[in-house]
Amino acid sequence: MMDIADRPEVAPELRLVPHAFRRTFGRAASGVWYAPGVLNLLGGAVKVHAKWGAIVAGDRRDDGRLELVSVNRPTERALLPSGEIPAWAAPVAGSEGGATLMCSVDLPRGSGLSAGEALRTAVGLALRDLAGSHYEEPPAVELDLPGQRLLVVDTRVRREEPQVERPYAGQTEDLGAALTAYHHAQNPDPEQDAVVTAAVQAGARGASMLVDPPGRPAVVLVDADLVPAVKKAITKAVEVPPRYLTIVPALFRTAALR
């Protein structure tokens, strides 16, 4: 069977990780798995998947241990179970199963799209297929929001103190209004508050802080034609220019290729 890294019908980003696995371990990966980044709106009451996320490639180990290597941090390897785990692998610290996996996450930690959750999901899919571990894929919601966009705002602020999320029991039918109500029910950092205020004043349908440690991101629901104006208003309102990701609300599924 042709190595996944050499199969021309496979998307380039899915070939890259098994290619790195082969270069590192001198053998072909037996599978590659993808999981999207997750936008947890309203404290996770609504989950939206983005096209950016995590990809892992690898094969089975017979000793029951989980070896993890990162494309982005190749010298920081993890062998679980272990008492010492590099920060990038912390989201999968509790995973069980025998496998060697090369991992790639194209989202910065704390940027708002739950990079750790994406990695944990991709590793869980791999372990399910390779080692027979039980794994349930997280639910996803498809939003019917024609002409609207979800603007994820990475304020670039990183703080080690945990951001406590207060329960929100409001309505979710009007997502824009719900986002703003959720935000005001929380205890946002000043940077998050500045983003939400600037976005709403610039015509956004709603906005809220996001909990994605160690970051202090936010999300904005905005009509597509107002995205440039809302970005401009937010950038003007904060000290450090944010990074933006624009999402067309839709459903993106996890995937496995072997």
Burial 52-71 (b: 16+ CB within 10 A, else e): bbbbbbbbbbeeeebbbbbb
What local confidence, expressed as pLDDT, does residue 136 receive?
Answer: 57
Distances (CA, A) of 22 to 16, 101, 112: 10, 11, 32
- Total-model pTM: 0.82
Return the closest-CA partner of residue 167 out of 186, 139, 151: 186
- Asked whether residue 252 carries a pLDDT value surpassing 50, the answer given is no
pLDDT tens per residue, range 27-57: 999 999 999 888 889 988 888 888 889 999 9
Report, as an integer, the average pLDDT of 191-209: 98
Report, as an integer, the average pLDDT of 177-203: 96
What local confidence, expressed as pLDDT, does residue 141 receive?
Answer: 53
pLDDT band at 257 (very low <50, low <70, confident <90, very high): low
Domains in the chain, ordered, with CATH? 4-139+251-257 (3.30.230.10), 148-247 (3.30.70.890)
What local confidence, expressed as pLDDT, does residue 80 receive?
Answer: 92
Whole-number percent of the chain with pLDDT over 70: 91
Three-state SS at 225? helix
Q: Are 222 and 204 in contact (CB under 8 A)?
A: yes
Distances (CA, A) of 218 to 106, 115, 145, 208: 19, 15, 19, 6
- Asked whether residue 258 carries a pLDDT value surpassing 70, the answer given is no
Q: What is the DSSP letter of 215?
A: B
Q: How many CB atoms lie within 10 A of CB 232?
A: 12
Instruction: Report the distance separating Cα 123 and Cα 67, nearest Å.
Output: 11
Tokens 């929100």: give the residue. 168
- Asked whether residue 256 carries a pLDDT value surpassing 70, the answer given is no
